[in-house]
């Protein structure tokens, strides 16, 4: 939305629903264990959007149906299974808070006990109830660098969220995590190791004047052509 249109909208009583980042957190578990993320410091209120990126590295096929949260009220926005030598399962959970959240977001234990799990959370707030729009979930084999679909038709106050994960067997450590392209306002990344490992990232961009946005390339030092990656782009408005 241009500055001229913003002024006209304001004069006409139509205020943009300006979405703002509130907080983020992440946690991991080996052995397919449950993961808990403390959200008490976020000060979540009724109407906040809670977004959860759930990533699992395992080699037993598509098990996204087993990727659940123990918290009530969450819905699934998208799921994907990346199939290569080293596989990855990817899921986005979301919820509009009623203001009575528990102290943590908790994933249920995963049935494959040799799996690696990463759970990431971001919370957003806006004057009106936000709308969540899935742009794309892209599965790419033979690469450890996720490929994002860009978001178009953006307006002032929107937030573009990018979530990605990749399967590998190179263990944990800083160089096994994603490096973003540096064009996101918020970015978190983590990894976990077991028989099969996983690296996950979650980031967002607050839109001020852009009408489209594609994040710069994320990279990781992993198993390259033996890895599968999954990347989701979504817009909060």
Q: What is the sign, positive or negative, of the torsion defined by CA atoms of 27, 163, 225, 82?
A: positive
**Confidence at residue 12, expressed as pLDDT on a 0 to 100 scale:** 52
Buried b vs exposed e over 151-184: b needs ≥16 C-beta within 10 Å?
beebbbbbbbbbbbbbbbbbebeeebbbbbbeeb
What is the rounded distance in angstroms from the CA atom of residue 225 to the CA atom of residue 137? 20
What is the per-residue pLDDT across 60-91, written as a single tens digit (0 to 9) for each? 889 999 999 999 999 999 999 999 999 999 99
Q: Count CB atoms within 10 A of the CB of residue 93.
A: 24
pLDDT in tens, 165-207: 999 998 888 889 999 999 999 999 999 999 999 999 999 999 9
Read off the pLDDT of residues 88-109 as tens digits, 9 standing for 90 and up: 999 999 999 999 998 999 999 9
Higher pLDDT, 30 or 8: 30
Tell me which residue of 125, 101, 104, 161 sits closest to 48, measured CA to CA: 125
**Domain locations along the chain:** 3-236
Q: Which two tokens stand for residue 4?
A: 């001229």
């Amino acid at each position: 939305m241009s500055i001229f249109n913003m002024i006209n909208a304001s004069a006409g009583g139509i205020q943009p629903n300006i979405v703002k980042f509130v907080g983020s957190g992440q946690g991991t578990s080996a052995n397919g264990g449950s993961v808990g993320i403390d959200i008490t410091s976020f000060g979540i209120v009724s109407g906040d959007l809670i977004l959860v990126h759930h990533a699992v590295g395992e080699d037993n096929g598509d098990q996204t149906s087993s990727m659940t949260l123990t918290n009530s009220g969450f819905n699934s926005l998208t799921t994907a299974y990346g199939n290569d030598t080293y596989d990855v399962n990817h899921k986005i959970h979301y919820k509009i808070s009623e203001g009575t959240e528990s102290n943590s977001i908790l994933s249920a234990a995963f049935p494959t006990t040799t799996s690696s799990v990463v759970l990431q959370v971001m919370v957003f707030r806006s004057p009106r109830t936000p709308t969540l729009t899935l742009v794309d979930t892209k599965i790419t084999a033979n690469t450890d660098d996720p490929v994002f679909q860009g978001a178009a038709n953006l307006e002032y106050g929107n937030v573009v969220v990018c979530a990605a994960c990749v399967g590998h067997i190179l263990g944990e450590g800083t160089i096994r995590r994603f490096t973003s392209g540096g064009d996101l306002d918020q970015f978190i990344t983590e990894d976990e190791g077991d028989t099969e490992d996983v690296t996950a990232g979650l980031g967002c961009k607050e839109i001020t004047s852009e009408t489209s946005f594609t994040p710069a390339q994320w990279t990781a030092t992993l198993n390259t052509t033996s890895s599968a990656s999954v990347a989701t782009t979504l817009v909060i408005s």
